[in-house]
Amino acid sequence: MTLTVDQIMVFSILAATLVLFVWGRWRYDIVAMAALLLIFIAGLVPADAVFLGFGHPAVITVAAVLVISRGMLNAGVVDFLSQYLTGVGNRAMAQVSAITGIVILCSGFMNNVGALALLMPVAIWMSRESGRSPSLLLMPLAFGSLVGGLITLIGTPPNIIIALFREETGKPAFGMFDFTPVGAGVALAGLLFISLVGWRLTPRRESQSDPDDLFEIENYITEIVIPESSKFVGQTLFHLTSAMEEETDAKVVGMVREENEATIVGMIRGEHLIAAPSWYEVLEAGDTLMVEAASDDLKSLVDEMGLELAGSGENIRKTLDAGDVRLMEAVVSAESPLRRKTAAELYLRRIYGVNLLAIARRGRQLKQRISKTRFIIGDILLLQGTDKALQSMLKDFKCLPLAERGLRIGQPPKVILATGIFGAAMLLSTFDVLPVQIAFVAAALIMILVKLVPLADIYESIDWPIIILLGALFPLGHALESTGGAMLIAEKLLALSAHLPPMGTLAVLLVGTMLLSNVVNNAAAAVLMAPIAITLAQGMAVSADPLLMAVAVGASCAFLTPVGHQSNALVMAPGGYSFGDYWHLGLPLSVLVTVVAVPLIMFFWPMVPA
């Protein structure tokens, strides 16, 4: 078949978009907007339809579900379930089964990334308590959040997208629990496999011998006294800090500058501890400074600057953690504005009164220069400051607290209120009293009115890059269909299906979508594959329902790479995983999902004539 000009253009734009998604140089929402503008410039979409995708019911529903998920989290629903994890013991299989089961349950009824974000600190806490590496629990946790999203309409954005694409076949959208027979079966099979066999396939990273050994701060934070004879008496801390930086930067070995630095993280004057002292604090004789520096640098700093060492550093942790000042570990989340920035660019001490003491990446403490290190998703930060300062910093930078976090138990009235609002929305949409988008927008609004979601958190709870991605890609999906591009792909699949039984065709579509979702966002995979599934069903003269279900399952099962889904990316650094680690558990799990899902789809959604 000869390609038309329009088909060549839409395939070229689609191919370029996928390449840029995989490359990752620019964020996927920016790439999607560029693709939207290109299809308009190419004349594939009229001007009055360019931005209609942002009003698509799927976009509105996804935004509402994200707000509802924040309300459920704020009410303590996940924490209420997490309290049972404290009693599962230290056996690896029991811990994997319990935490994977809970994240599957939560992901079926709320945003799966949100459920993972709340349970990941619990998993790391459990790992440390049992003396194991977090790598044992975090990959099963991430994959559990993905299969859990298959259970209901709102478990994952691809389900919402596929549900509303069904309306294009002349049938009503899929309901809340239409996904459950297949999704629950796949989730149960995934849970059993991960709990019994899969966790043994996860890459093992070295475990710290003691829960506190990830950050051995006493090894590089030392007390230094300002003697009466010091030239810095009467000068500000800024002058001392500047002199320290000049001394550190002046150290050159051969032609290579050493990446060392010294940072003042606290000051003791008499009995008073000043956390993150101001640069304009005037130094007095007898002041004790807590200085972070590599051990090799301390002697030269003290000798050159006329300071004195004080103490062995054995009680540094207790000193730093005294009174209202405490240490906290936190994880850089996928939505954190810290990503790709350095501590020096953020002025944490000046703005928040918080000291960044250390960074751990992939289970190991970084020894390089902290202020010049660019943060990535999953970095664990050791922070010091007052409780108020730490909470403010964590909220603004969307970091997840880890050490000494404990398990907050949700207040029963709030848990009941949140689940009641959510349950009412599910019932209204299930029994077709209200369209799903109306029911969940109403639920989100009620959660805001009853203050389960504070006004300041409304827009923070929405993953705006996903919203932009969806709104921009819907016109691209329609252009693929209107130009005959979807028909062309469907014809190739039809030619292949002539040599396969219906179950084989279904498996090919599911696996193809699954492979695509491992390199692009799962919502994008659903938007692009749904028109192909509908066109393929028309060519086979069968119901589109089983083919759409196959796309829904495939789009949500990105187990092979860390870039296919935010859940995979979020656990990469804390678990110490590399890019190639995911297929060890991900490949057999992908095969299992295909083997289980295809017969279930054929049974519950048979390929009856259209």
**Domain CATH for 248:** 3.30.70.1450
- Classify residue 357: in a domain, yes or no: no
- Dihedrals φ, ψ of 592, to 5°? -60, -45
- Classify residue 511: in a domain, yes or no: yes
Q: What integer pLDDT is reported at residue 13 of this predicted model?
A: 92
Q: Structurally, how many domains does the chain consist of?
A: 2
| CB 567, CB 155: distance < 8 Å | no
pLDDT of 250 strictly over 70: no
pLDDT of 258 strictly over 70: no
231 and 198 within one domain: no
The per-residue pLDDT for range 101-130, each reduced to its tens digit, is 999 998 998 878 778 877 887 787 788 778
| CB 432, CB 454: distance < 8 Å | no
Question: ∠ CA 221-390-451 to the nearest 5 degrees?
Answer: 165
The alpha carbons of the chain give a radius of gyration, in whole angstroms, of: 27
pLDDT of 216 strictly over 60: no
Convert 136-205 into a string of H (helix), E (strand) and C (coil): HHHHHHHHHHHHHCCCCCCCCHHHHHHHHHHHHHCCCCCCCCCCHHHHHHHHHHHHHHHHHCHHHHCCCC
- Classify residue 27: in a domain, yes or no: yes
250 and 155 within one domain: no
Give the residue from 279, 306, 333 where a domain finishes: 306
Q: What integer pLDDT is reported at residue 324 of this predicted model?
A: 61
Q: What integer pLDDT is reported at residue 574 of this predicted model?
A: 77
Q: What integer pLDDT is reported at residue 530 of this predicted model?
A: 92
How far apart are the C-alpha atoms of 362 and 379, rounded to whole Å? 8
- Amino acid of residue 224: I
Give the residue from 306, 339, 367 where a domain finishes: 306
501 and 548 within one domain: yes
Q: Which of 27-41, 214-228, 266-280, 339-353 has the highest mean predicted lDDT (pLDDT)? A: 27-41
pLDDT of 213 strictly over 80: no
154 and 28 within one domain: yes
Kind plus residue range of the DSSP H or E element containing 307: none
149 and 11 within one domain: yes
- Classify residue 563: in a domain, yes or no: yes
- Classify residue 245: in a domain, yes or no: yes
pLDDT of 409 strictly over 70: no
Lowest pLDDT segment from 292-301, 453-462, 506-515, 551-560: 292-301
15 and 162 within one domain: yes
Give the residue from 275, 306, 337 where a domain finishes: 306
- Classify residue 355: in a domain, yes or no: no
- Classify residue 494: in a domain, yes or no: yes
189 and 140 within one domain: yes
- Amino acid of residue 531: P
Q: What integer pLDDT is reported at residue 449 of this predicted model?
A: 94
57 and 93 within one domain: yes
Q: What integer pLDDT is reported at residue 312 of this predicted model?
A: 43
203 and 117 within one domain: yes
Tell me which residue range forms the domain holding 249: 227-306
pLDDT of 180 strictly over 90: yes
199 vs 580: which has the higher pLDDT: 199
- Amino acid of residue 76: G
pLDDT band at 260 (very low <50, low <70, confident <90, very high): very low
How far apart are the C-alpha atoms of 549 and 553, rounded to whole Å? 6
- Classify residue 371: in a domain, yes or no: no
Q: What integer pLDDT is reported at residue 252 of this predicted model?
A: 38
- Amino acid of residue 24: G
**Considering the chain, what percentage of its residues have pLDDT values greater than 70?**
84
How far apart are the C-alpha atoms of 605 and 181, rounded to whole Å? 10
pLDDT of 313 strictly over 50: no
592 and 562 within one domain: yes
Q: Which of 47-56, 300-309, 457-466 has the highest mean predicted lDDT (pLDDT)? A: 47-56
Q: What integer pLDDT is reported at residue 336 of this predicted model?
A: 82
| CB 197, CB 288: distance < 8 Å | no
110 and 184 within one domain: yes
pLDDT of 321 strictly over 60: no
User: Stretch 359-373: mean pLDDT, rounded?
Assistant: 70
User: Stretch 236-249: mean pLDDT, rounded?
Assistant: 70
Q: What integer pLDDT is reported at residue 358 of this predicted model?
A: 77
pLDDT of 571 strictly over 80: yes
Q: Mark residue 458 as left, alpha or beta (left: phi above 0; alpha: psi -120 to 50; beta: remaining).
A: alpha
Which one-letter DSSP state was computed for residue 409?
A: P
267 and 126 within one domain: no
Q: What integer pLDDT is reported at residue 240 of this predicted model?
A: 78
